[in-house]
Amino acid sequence: MHFLYNLIIGIASYLLKIIALFSPKMQLFVSGRKTVFETLSKKIAPNDKTIWIHAASLGEYEQGLPIIEKLKEKHPTHKIIISFFSPSGYEVRKNNTIADATVYLPLDSESNAKKFIALAHPEMVFFIKYEFWINYLAELKKQNIPTYLISGIFREKQLFFKWYGGFYRKALSTFTYFFLQNESSKTLIENLGLKNVVVSGDTRFDRVAAILEKDNQIDFISKFKNKTTTVVIGSSWPKDEELLVQYLNETNQQVKFIIAPHNIKSEQIQQLQSSLSKRTVLYSQMKGKNLEDYDVFIIDTIGILTKIYSYADIAYVGGGFGQPGVHNILEPATFGVPIVIGTNFSHFAEATALVALEGCFSISNASTLKTVIDKLITDVNIREQTGAICSQFIKENTGATATIMTKIG
């Protein structure tokens, strides 16, 4: 099976190079990996003490930040290496200031694993949530390097728990400790005979709770809001926008809207703007304009949505009409904002929990969208009660970082 796995990895490396000729994203995936070993050689000296954290993409990076920050506090002389698998993570956070070296993770061949680990020579390794790369894990185990899974989550449908999943189950035995999000994940792992498991919770709650301690003021958002009830639409996709544009164009409510689309390509932004009948301004074109005169503010940039949520009276979080599903609802929740989402949220524990608690509302069409948002706009008491459910939910689920740091010593 190991031979077959390595063969597949080898074939994939060639196929990806071909696909990259036609896909800009895949071009980043391929070209970004060409300089990994060179980067590690330049930034990590043989006598450096290091800690390696691997995140699949941007979400996992954000999830790992509370742990990374604590590791830097506890081990100030160690260099931090952060690796990404996906361009959507690396390209956004390649210039972060918390790591000493940020790189793509080379494909999981035996030679890549040996060379990467030799250059990084970490004293401990953290994988965030998932991604179980067989050769990397085997090499870490061979060298007796402590390896931890942070905020892990498991489901019965995964290969580990199938009768034919023995090869992948072996990979799990390489971990020093599993820090998991819930009891069901713990039960699944323990049923495999692994006892090095603790339910620590999800470190994302610690990260979003810490946002409240930061300066979230944005002057131009304050000017646009102008003390008016404001709906913030975050990470929206075209399917979300079809419903939202209809509502925006038809509503007579005295309310303002901020839209931060998931995709900020100019042609899609222009299409969104042209579909709106209300007075609309773009972030990229706001200079010299009286922002308080506009009804809709389209944020065609990245990196400020979290702070914008602090100005929301109501939040709509996109992605709930596509795959893999709704985007991060914890950021608006930490500000005590009632949340509206689409129908695809069942794989996201926090969304499922908040819908059950009635701090978050799932809508399926234009009619239910109008009913929910109109109610939240007009009924201040309902809005405040719903927002309080969200903020309390965040507070009750913090503490994963402290549990993990205590356990790893």
The answer for residues whose C-beta is within 8 angstroms of residue 3's C-beta and 6 or more apart is none
Distance CA 35, CA 33 (A): 6
User: How close are the terminal C-alpha atoms of the chain, in Å?
Assistant: 36
Element (H, E) at 136: helix 134-142
With contact defined as beta carbons under 8 Å apart, do 159 and 168 qualify? yes
Distance CA 208, CA 306 (A): 9
Distance CA 344, CA 340 (A): 12
3-class DSSP state of 340: strand
Query: To 10 degrees, what angle do helices 238-250 and 266-274 make?
Result: 30
With contact defined as beta carbons under 8 Å apart, do 258 and 275 qualify? no
Long-range contacts of 340-343 (CB under 8 A, 24+ apart): 340/314, 340/315, 340/316, 340/369, 340/372, 340/373, 340/376, 341/316, 341/317, 342/239, 342/240, 342/318
With contact defined as beta carbons under 8 Å apart, do 38 and 116 qualify? no
- Where in the sequence numbering do the catalytic residues fall? 60
